[in-house]
Amino acid sequence: MGSYPVVAAGTRITSSLLNDLSPTFVFKTSNQQVASSIVPVNDTELVFPVVSGAQYEIEFYLRWSGLQAAGIRTMWSVPTGTSGNRDVGGPGSANAIQGDANTTEMRWAVHGVGTQVGMTNPRNSQGLQTWSLERAVLTIGGTSGNIQLQWAQFASNATASQVVAGSYAKYRRIG
């Protein structure tokens, strides 16, 4: 796939062209909680539209918190026919409680967009946040639709895990 948008010599610079060259951000403005469930739910704010036949560079920066035992699991919902994998960086799924998170087991791996990836919070608190980063270059098949973060607790716990305000999705069409 070629570059998007195509900017040839003599191309008139318009606001539409400049917008196409810039990434778009979707910010989470309020905390969302999930308790006693390992079944992923749609994030209420981290969702954006994509068009069929296009290629996108995507990033989800997640600030989250919860008990170490509960943690978080993430996956992405994408339109039918989408291809590509996501890179996931953040705490691993077997962390012991570390008050300062200096000895956190980390995950640096590539997963399918629909693969549930678990992480535990070494800070063991709803008040002390940790973060993870998920990135991908995806090619959208023949169906337009939305890309949406889905998440749940890694292990069911009555104390809620939460994705926190300030998390964001960043995306840009590149082909």
CB-count burial class (<10 Å; 0-12, 13-18, 19+) for 75 = buried
Which two tokens mark 6?
């195509």
Q: Is 157 part of a structural domain of the chain?
A: yes
Q: Is 1 part of a structural domain of the chain?
A: no
Q: Is 84 part of a structural domain of the chain?
A: yes
Q: Is 111 part of a structural domain of the chain?
A: yes
pLDDT of residue 96: 63
Q: Is 14 part of a structural domain of the chain?
A: no
pLDDT of residue 66: 86
Determine the structural domain holding residue 145 and report its residue range: 25-173
Instruction: Tally the domains of the chain.
Output: 1
CATH code, domain carrying 119:
2.60.120
Q: Is 12 part of a structural domain of the chain?
A: no
pTM above 0.85, yes or no: yes
Q: What single-letter amino acid sits at 118?
A: G
Collect the ranges in the chain with pLDDT lower than 70: 1-2, 95-104
Q: pLDDT tens digits for 16-52? A: 888 878 899 999 999 999 999 999 999 999 999 999 9
